[in-house]
Amino acid sequence: MLVDIVPVGNVPANVKRAASSALRSVYDCDVTINDAQSVPNGAYDADRNQYAAETFIQLAERIGRGEKNIAVTPHDLFYRRRNYVFGLAYLDGSGSVVSTYRLQTSSDGGFSNQSASDIFQDRVRKEIVHEIGHTYGLEHCDNNRCVMNFSPTVREVDIKEENLCGSCQRLVR
């Protein structure tokens, strides 16, 4: 299985490395990193001062070279009526997106003594693994330690682990 990371906008090298290593570690897949892309036309919503997540997924599906493709962007994303999303993927689809915008907040809920940089990279890794999990057909998991647990805030992201629980892992294999 090949997963292609599609950077959209100015995505730092450390974010691309974190995403790539997490995907290889959890899904044992091949990972490539595509050329940086511009924000898709029509993605920006001036009323919200945010970008529509679906347009980034469509870009990843169109540009990506993998069976699974994930756009990664520093831009703030929304989906339908939600105030924001860390990422979005369609179940069993080929495209997905993760935004690093809200993963950079300073609060980690008091769970670690890690640096802000390490906390940020952990969050990126978890959200990348989470969204690609949806493309593998995984739904949200009730286990709050599983990476597939729904995480509406960074506090919940920080609580969960980077890996799939046993139940979710069996569904992927």
Beta bridge partners of 4: 32, 69
Three-point CA angle 146, 152, 13, nearest 5°: 75
d(CA 149, CA 90): 16
Radius of gyration of the chain (CA): 15
Those residues with Cβ within 8 angstroms of residue 125's Cβ, 6 or more apart along the chain or in another chain:
18, 19, 21, 22, 162
Q: How far is CA 92 from CA 43, 134, 137, in A?
A: 23, 6, 5
Catalytic (active-site) positions: 131
Among 10, 158, 5, CA closest to 75: 10
